[in-house]
Structure 1
Amino acid sequence: MHLISILRSDKLKMCYRTKLNSEYKSIEKTFEAKFIAPEEYIPQEEINAFSFSKTPIITNENPEEINLFNWGLIPFWAKNAEIRKMTLNAKIETLTKKPSFRNAVTNRCLIIADGYYEWQWQDSRGKEKQKYLIITPDQEIFAFAGIYATWKEPTTNILINSYSIVTTEANDLMSKIHNNKKRMPVVLNSKDHKQWLNGTQVSNFALPYQANLKAVRVDY
């Protein structure tokens, strides 16, 4: 099977759709940080990872700033941007081992969202799926644990900042929702934002670490 076919068939298998529809002032208040370019922020009901679009994040380098980075981490050593198709998510269990991520483990970031989407398989082959919006009742706006990198495009020398969402084993709720892969993004509790940014060992954020999640059925 060609790589592009694999990627297309995998689009609903991991955390590849998020939501951030909150106003920028609410985001600033939640994270006690300021947008560097608020005019560039566009609220979106559904963000497709495979658009590699820019979304708001906070880095450990500048925790008082909200910047817009591209989803899909491009390591500094990459020859081109094609690798970002495979680095939208980063498994926490192998974060320090995989070449794509191990150099970025200390580059921590908060990836801002107010929801994400997963599809529950209704049959063994996934021909029938039910869409769910996952939210956090305790946090109207929350953050995924993330890592980031800066890459220089070789032909133009333009710097591109990009990130990957860190994922872990699914908890009880997400095992029922994301029942084919049984994975979930690491949704940080607000009290742990600084710990993640400050470089606390990544294994501390693997399941059983979890935030309070709620699944809302989405019917078209």
Structure 2
Amino acid sequence: MCYRFSTQFTAKQLEEYYTAYELENEYHLLDELNGFNYPETAIIMDKAPTEIVVGKWGLFPSWAKADFQKKANTLNAKIETAETLASYKGSVHSRCLIPAHLFFEWQWQDAKGKVKKKFEIGLREHQVFSLAGIYNLWTNPDNGKSYRTYSILTTEANELMSEIHNTKKRMPVCLNRAMDKDWLEGRNLQDFSYPNYNPDLVAMESSGGIVDLFSPKKNSD
């Protein structure tokens, strides 16, 4: 899953990386965002791929009422089922990119998860990369105010993430620059699921201020 990620980048980095310009800048730039705070972040939408705007994490389908998030968790959408579930199926053709610097996941060290190790995961040789998202322009029926709301797509974990996210074994769909265009242009959803697409991720363990490179186990020839 993906409930925390970093937005430690600058507007200039985003504009250069995406060849886009910042239309709105009221988004959070933090070393670690918590999805359950429903933060507003930078996004790039399929309808305007040269514009950096603001989106609210946690998708509201068109039929949702104002208290929807008290009843449903739409921070993530499983890529395997997004096309069939009521909360997401109306948005699978509305694609967006969510710029990230890193995302975070915890590795359970015991059966009940009382002892965990925290990892920072990113895309190799990328200071910025995209989390694949779907979005909906939702209007609050109580006050008429409109919001761009989104979910981050997740897929089965690859080898590295299976070692780290060793309980549910999921990971967000992480796009390199070459894949951003394909995502926004509506390429088949399952082309981005693992193992059809396997991002080149790297991870570091964070513990007590010490950061060590984490590498998955290699198969012997």
Greater share of helix: 1
Partner AA of 1:216 in structure 2 = M
Q: Which of residues 134, 137, 156 is equivalent to 1:147? A: 134
| 1:129-152 deviations in Å (ceiling 9; x for gaps) | 000000112321000110000111
> What are the equivalent positions in structure 2 for 1:73-152 lying under 5 Å apart?
73-83=59-69, 85-152=72-139
Q: Which residue of 2 aligns with 1:205?
A: 192
Task: State TM-score, norm by structure 1.
Answer: 0.91
| 1:16-52 deviations in Å (ceiling 9; x for gaps) | 00001111101110011111123x2442100000110
Gaps of 5+ in 1: 1-13
> Whole-Å Cα distance in 1 between the matches of residues 78 and 67 of structure 2?
20
> What are the equivalent positions in structure 2 for 1:4-43 lying under 5 Å apart?
14-38=1-25, 40-43=26-29
> Whole-Å Cα distance in 1 between the matches of residues 67 and 148 of structure 2?
11
> Whole-Å Cα distance in 1 between the matches of residues 76 and 173 of structure 2?
10
Whether the aligned pair in 1 keeps the contact of 2:4 and 2:103 (CA below 8 Å) is yes
More deviation, 133-142/104-113: 133-142
Is 1:62 matched up with 2:38? no
Q: Which residue of 1 aligns with 2:218?
A: none
Number of aligned residue pairs: 206
Task: Using the TM superposition, give the Cα deviation of residue 163 of structure 1 relative to its aligned residue in structure 2, in angstroms.
Answer: 0.4
Task: State TM-score, norm by structure 2.
Answer: 0.90
What secondary structure, in the 3-state scheme, does the structure 1 residue paired with 2:53 have? strand
Whether the aligned pair in 1 keeps the contact of 2:6 and 2:101 (CA below 8 Å) is yes
> Whole-Å Cα distance in 1 between the matches of residues 19 and 11 of structure 2?
12
Whether the aligned pair in 1 keeps the contact of 2:123 and 2:176 (CA below 8 Å) is no
Is 1:172 matched up with 2:152? no
> Whole-Å Cα distance in 1 between the matches of residues 111 and 166 of structure 2?
10
More deviation, 84-93/19-28: 84-93
